[in-house]
Amino acid sequence: MVSSEVAPWAKAGGLADAVGALAEALARAGHELKVVMPRYYRVDRGALEDTGLRVGSGFGEPDATVYSTPLEDSGGTLYLLDREDLYGRDGIYGVPGETDFRDNPMRFAFLCRGALDLCRQLDWEPDVAHAHDWPTALMPVLVAEARAAGSPSFHKTASVLSIHNLGYQGVYPAADFARLGLAPDRFDQAGFEHYGRMNLLKAGLTMADALSTVSPTYAREIQTSDFGFGLDGLLRWRSADLVGILNGVDLGDWNPATDPYIAARYDATDLTGKAACKAALQREFGLPENPDVPLVAMISRLADQKGIGELFGPMYGAAWPICSEMDLQFAVLGSGEAWCERELSILSSRLPNFKARVGMDERLAHVVEAGADFFLMPSRYEPCGLSQLYSLRYGTLPVVRRTGGLADTVENYEQATGEGTGFVFDDLTPRSIYDTVGWAVWAWYNKGEHIDAMRKRAMGRVFSWDRAATEYLALYRRAIARARGEPIEENE
């Protein structure tokens, strides 16, 4: 498995959590697993073991020193490639002044080639090389090249590419292709060419033996022009090889019965501790301690994908009328676009029932999930989403748009019966957000017995990585059969 980020060693977003948790679940299941990532500046060398190995790209570049560390207690191994000129920086993909390092194609091409060289030096032939998102999308191309050349190290290796967010594709000038070490004709034949530029993800999607993304609904959505970001035609062509496998939740880190960050522990059989958690959240954000008013929360990257314009847009966003016209409290934790950070500050100063913290804080995220009554996610698109899974686990009812993994995990409230685990809307407009939050608030004040039942039902929904690992294993078997020209079993 090759990834640009793996939690807890280096993390820029949900990709790191997903790769780290899936790797551990596969290793726990008894599979021989090696994970490869860069050794960024922030990863302490002193906490790693020097393997004595050095790997290279085979094109006269400097070699990288290989460090390793166990994957927790699961039996897998994480290898980190240390090359100061490529990875000795504070950022994974960029820094505030340079959000996308100009040499990213070379940085991540070396990661992929170095991973293959590591396998050769370990005399280890993997059954599957699993790449994640555009930074490692070169892996399927390199595996196909090695297989076609009859490489003894990879002649039976299959490749799998997982799409965690199709909105990021690794598009760079065509001139950068020459730095990847491939024959010139591969630019067109392997699918790199994209409107005169080089698209790394497109090449990986073209050449991988099997494709996955992080929820069944998102797998369907990315085959449409609305969500395909220009690659929907390619994905429709590869649709027989594409599956959506829902991400899981780390049930150890996110468990209200054992969470060390929250004010009181609770579970589905005894929710009394959630009241203390709500009071702690209100104190933390400077909101009045009132158990009777519903508390809506949001933890989010403040980006267009998350529906922030429709929610916080000055003069038209839903947040102002929600807080000024409804009897509720609203707490926000997040960072991102500067205009939205400024707007959160303005709303916090003008609305006594709205408070925001700019930034991201792991402890505070747990406090918010445990203390809130409702969790708002008005995403424009959401490949899987983790926050709604955490919310369900903590009995905090999600208010979400019906898209991607949100559609696959949150069951809409049925007012007549009280069934459901959250509140779902379709159109991403300020009015839809306002109406759906209002619906949740109405249920809070008028259908308290429904809210209690929904909380218990939500906490009973289990989204485990062990379940996801089983589905990935089925995908691996399909990829192996395809790579080796063997029949694919229908039940796979």
Each residue's pLDDT tens digit, 244-271: 999 998 888 899 999 999 999 999 999 9
Task: For residue range 140-174, list pLDDT tens digits in order.
Answer: 999 999 999 888 889 899 999 999 999 999 999 99
**pTM for the predicted model, two decimal places:** 0.93
Task: State the pLDDT confidence band at 29, using cuts at 50, 70 and 90.
Answer: very high
> Is pLDDT of 208 > 60?
yes
Mean pLDDT of the 275-289 span: 98
**Residue 491 scores a pLDDT above 60:** no
Task: Note the pLDDT of residue 455.
Answer: 98
Strand partners, 197: 173, 194
pLDDT of residue 280: 98
